[in-house]
Structure 1
Amino acid sequence: MNQTINPVLHNALPDWLDQLAIQQHSQHTIAAYHRDLVAFLSYCEQQNLQPQQLQISDLRQYMGYCIEQKQWSNQSVQRALSAIRQFMQWLQQHGTQVDANFKDFNIKRQPRPLPGMLSPETLNQLLDQAAPQSENDQWLWARDKAMLELLYSSGLRLNELVNLKLSDIDWSQHLVRVKGKGNKTRIIPFGGKAEQALRHWLSLRIVKTLDHDFIFISRSGQKISDRQVQNRIKQQAKRAGLSADLHPHLLRHCFASHLLSNSGELRTVQEMLGHSNLTTTQVYTHLDFDHLAKIYDQAHPRAKK
């Protein structure tokens, strides 16, 4: 397929992508949206369609083409649809007439898979493991433990963790401020174990003269990368003898599930996770059937024999 972007929108696409960067969308998301829009606009050009004059039926036909001809997964189709809807809305807001309203156009999602889960005991095995013997490994463990404790204590996303700065920590209130998706700021508590790990790490971090205040750094003094965090977490899981495929988002899942299981406060968990839609948070209500059964037996007047 020809990948030449429709000349009418040649300048609009990079401007929109710049706006996403200002809103602090991840580089991975911006790159994916760019590919999705280039493919879509090229399809429009091949079909002699003017993107500004598209109808819902044209978009439905394109989605069908992606599924049947390009063998896209449901996740890829949903992401492309999100990119197209947001781009068209941005065009309208910036004076370009768009005939159809794509805002309410949806494709039925496949059932969301339940996230994997680790027990509190397994996480204790990870977080309470002894420090290594060598001084170099102790430095790395202090940093990695602080990252692990904060991911599990506050349910941070990976991007939120790596961009965390010293000024984002309120030690007196035990709160951390993060900027999540859509540049939305939220305030989340962190626990005593996370505070201990953070203070210990920062006592070692200050030996470096830095020109920034990012909390988590590499040996070179640069802000740690997403990939480095992912690799270090897997390394620490291996050192603790865990067989699970540990990654930052799994710790976020554990935070949400364990907090919800012990509190039942769905709205509170939604706020801490930064979910705009409660249905996204509700997936965690399906993870602890034993707990739900126990609550039912205790609370429902007809539960007891």
Structure 2
Amino acid sequence: MNPSESPLYPAVGAFLRYIKVQRQLSPLTCESYERQLEILISMSDEIGISDWEQLDAPKVRMLLVRSKRAGLGESSRALRMSALRSFLDWQVSQGNRMANPAKGISTPRTSKHLPQNLDVDEVDKLLDIDSKDPLAVRDRAMLETMYGAGLRVSELVGINIRHVDMVTGEVWVVGKGSKERRLPLGRTALTWLEKWLVFRADLSCEDDALFISNKGKRISVRNVQKRFAEWGLKQGVSSHIHPHKLRHSFATHLLESSGDLRGVQELLGHSSMSTTQIYTHLDFQHLATVYDAAHPRAKRGKS
């Protein structure tokens, strides 16, 4: 049976509209939740569930076991359970059920894979693009802006011309959860933005996008990923280049130079300090050393 024809689908459809319209989650997140919930609908149909109220904790465990037997990996099973848990939480908030049966069920622990960063020499090698070709100038401006401000790729492609203040050397971006932040840009990034804006002024574009494709449209995330990877090969950088690696390199290099974890957190737009700790692969010993040196109650046994 097609998931959309199942009696379980109307509630899922309403939930998907909720996360798209009211919560305004990213399109990728919404697509992921939709895909996982449609699979769960099919699985629930197979075990005789025709109403979400019939889904209890044993049946949730059954869905999890079936997912594992189907060859689903740990991270994918965790994602599937996250989608189900969010949907059931929403049902509780709507008064459609008393409790979430997926709440007390543990999901597979996924190992955290820290992104690799480039060392400073590799960054210099990558950014050593000296060309008068408009697309090459645009790409270097994107690379310099990405590394210079530690942006997410979605933030980079979302920049409009009016979001860049060439006088103060700042860029305004909208990050996760529609959170806005103003970030400084280095001299090199500003220099290449100025060069790109000269070419940009001669091109027609449907909107105010700072970075546009050769067709005059706002450049896409996929196009940025493709161009960065191509420049990595052209410049002879040994590792695969992608936007997230430049963001991670920005964070790592800044932290190594300043040691200011809180400042790096603010620049990256992280809502949680723990995210920054993992992202910049700080170890506990470093944090313990900072604590022992700074906290008035840390100096145990001293009087």
**TM-score (norm. length: structure 2):** 0.83
* Residues 286 and 163 (structure 1), Cα distance of their counterparts in 2 relative to 1, 3 Å cut: closer
2: CA distance, partners of 1:170 / 1:105: 50
Q: Which residue of 2 aligns with 1:276?
A: 271
* Residues 172 and 61 (structure 1), Cα distance of their counterparts in 2 relative to 1, 3 Å cut: farther
2: CA distance, partners of 1:221 / 1:104: 51
Aligned residues: 290
Matches for 1:1-305 after TM superposition, within 5 Å: 2-5=1-4, 7-22=6-21, 23-49=23-49, 50-67=51-68, 69-100=69-100, 102=102, 106-131=106-131, 138-286=133-281
Q: Can you list the C-alpha shifts for 1:70-107, whole angstroms capped at 9, x where unaligned?
A: 21122212222222222222333344335326456542
* Residues 287 and 117 (structure 1), Cα distance of their counterparts in 2 relative to 1, 3 Å cut: farther
Q: Please say if residues 5 and 42 of structure 1, whose CA atoms lie closer than 8 Å, have aligned partners that are also in contact.
A: no
Unaligned runs of 5+ in 1: none
Q: Can you list the C-alpha shifts for 1:172-215, whole angstroms capped at 9, x where unaligned?
A: 44333322233333333322222222222122111123231111
2: CA distance, partners of 1:255 / 1:65: 42
* Residues 101 and 65 (structure 1), Cα distance of their counterparts in 2 relative to 1, 3 Å cut: closer
1: CA distance, partners of 2:159 / 2:126: 23
Q: Please say if residues 163 and 171 of structure 2, whose CA atoms lie closer than 8 Å, have aligned partners that are also in contact.
A: yes
Q: Can you list the C-alpha shifts for 1:20-73, whole angstroms capped at 9, x where unaligned?
A: 444554433322221100011222222223324533343233223212x12112
Q: Please say if residues 25 and 183 of structure 1, whose CA atoms lie closer than 8 Å, have aligned partners that are also in contact.
A: no
Deviation of 1:143 after TM superposition, in Å, equals 0.8
Specify the code of the residue in structure 2 equivalent to 1:61. M
Percent pairwise identity: 35
Specify the code of the residue in structure 2 equivalent to 1:243. S
Q: Please say if residues 206 and 216 of structure 2, whose CA atoms lie closer than 8 Å, have aligned partners that are also in contact.
A: no
1: CA distance, partners of 2:160 / 2:103: 36
2: CA distance, partners of 1:246 / 1:104: 40
* Residues 4 and 215 (structure 1), Cα distance of their counterparts in 2 relative to 1, 3 Å cut: same
* Residues 106 and 278 (structure 1), Cα distance of their counterparts in 2 relative to 1, 3 Å cut: farther
Q: Please say if residues 161 and 209 of structure 2, whose CA atoms lie closer than 8 Å, have aligned partners that are also in contact.
A: yes
Unaligned runs of 5+ in 2: none
Q: Matched residue of 2:182: which SS?
A: strand
